[in-house]
């Protein structure tokens, strides 16, 4: 499982920007669809690193490579121009559709779901329970270890960026337990030079569990 794309390099076989377009017999200029000459240094979840051709990493980790190319200013290179914009647009369309669907859903398993903290508190008051408030307290207690609370009126520390955060709510299948998750607006801060992400359970973990 890929943990991080650490570095990249190209050799003299990589297509230059001057040769990024090819002219067909009909006179049309089309992108030169090739990835030759580029390699990426991948760090795997067990700690080691290895170099791999762009064509292989692109095939196995399409979104991670596309985002890494954007972060490192490679999207204008011929090896990336013909597929990176399309990949990112498709990802954004999927996320937008899922977000739109989320706000359309007001019930799950017959339980009304709130969209913000005020609505969650109002639901508890309406039903005479503390399910949503308990979920919020549990989540904030778990997240509080990662925060340093500054005095009111303090300036943003040097090297830090102010971003907005919010809570999203859900209902757990089976137990119908109310869940709250504290999320940050990552789009409001500079993306790290190397692309990192929180992976789901790895295939190795599943195999070990079966053993």
Q: Write the pLDDT tens digit of every residue in 49-98.
A: 999 999 999 999 998 999 899 989 898 899 999 999 999 999 888 888 87
pLDDT over 70 for what percent of the chain? 92
- Residues 74, 153 within the same domain: no
Longest CA pairwise span in the chain (Å): 74
Asked, for residue 99, whether it belongs to a domain, the answer is no
**How far apart (Å, rounded) are the C-alpha atoms in residues 38 and 44?**
19
Domain membership flag for residue 206? no
114 in any annotated domain: yes
* pLDDT higher than threshold 80 for residue 175: yes
Residue where a domain stops, chosen among 34, 55, 90: 90
Which among 163, 165, 169 has a CA at the least distance from the CA of 103? 169
Query: Does residue 168 fall inside a structural domain?
Result: yes
Which H or E element spans position 40? strand 38-44
Residue 160 within a domain: yes
Structural domain tally of the chain? Answer: 2
Same domain for 139 and 176: yes
Higher pLDDT, 199 or 92: 92
Look up the domain containing 174 and give its range: 105-188
**Is the model more confident about 199 or about 100?**
100
Flag whether pLDDT at 104 surpasses 80: no
- Is residue 32 in a domain? yes
Q: Which long-range contacts (CB under 8 A, 24 or more apart) does 166-175 make?
A: 166/116, 167/116, 167/117, 167/120, 167/136, 167/139, 168/102, 169/113, 169/114, 169/115, 169/120, 169/132, 169/135, 170/108, 170/113, 171/108, 171/109, 171/111, 171/113, 173/109
Enter the DSSP assignment of 168: E
- Residues 127 and 66 grouped into a single domain: no
Per-residue pLDDT at 136: 92
Which of 56, 90, 124 is the C-terminal boundary of a domain?
Answer: 90
Average of pLDDT values for 132-137? 92
Q: Are residues 60 and 15 in the same domain?
A: yes
50-73 as b/e: b if 16+ CB within 10 A: eeeebeebbeebeebbbbbbbbee
What is residue 187's predicted lDDT score, i.e. its pLDDT? 67
Q: Does any domain span residue 208?
A: no
């Amino acid at each position: 499982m890929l943990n991080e794309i650490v570095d990249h390099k190209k050799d003299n076989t990589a297509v230059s920007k001057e040769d990024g377009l090819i002219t067909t017999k009909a006179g049309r200029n089309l992108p030169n669809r090739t990835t030759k000459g580029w390699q990426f240094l991948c760090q795997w979840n067990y700690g080691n690193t290895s170099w791999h051709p762009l064509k292989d990493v692109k095939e196995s980790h399409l979104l991670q490579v596309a985002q890494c190319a954007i972060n490192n200013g490679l999207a204008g290179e011929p090896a990336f121009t013909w597929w990176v914009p399309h990949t990112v647009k498709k990802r954004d369309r999927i996320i937008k559709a899922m977000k739109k669907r989320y706000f359309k859903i007001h019930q799950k398993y017959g339980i009304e779901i709130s969209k913000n903290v005020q609505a969650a508190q109002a639901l508890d008051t309406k039903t005479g329970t503390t399910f949503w408030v308990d979920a919020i307290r549990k989540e904030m207690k778990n997240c509080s270890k990662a925060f340093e609370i500054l005095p009111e009126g303090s300036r943003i520390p040097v090297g830090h960026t102010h971003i907005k955060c919010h809570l999203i709510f859900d209902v757990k299948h089976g137990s119908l337990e109310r869940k709250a998750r504290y999320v940050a607006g990552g789009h409001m801060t500079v993306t790290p030079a190397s692309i990192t992400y929180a992976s789901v359970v790895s295939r190795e973990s599943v195999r070990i569990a079966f053993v």
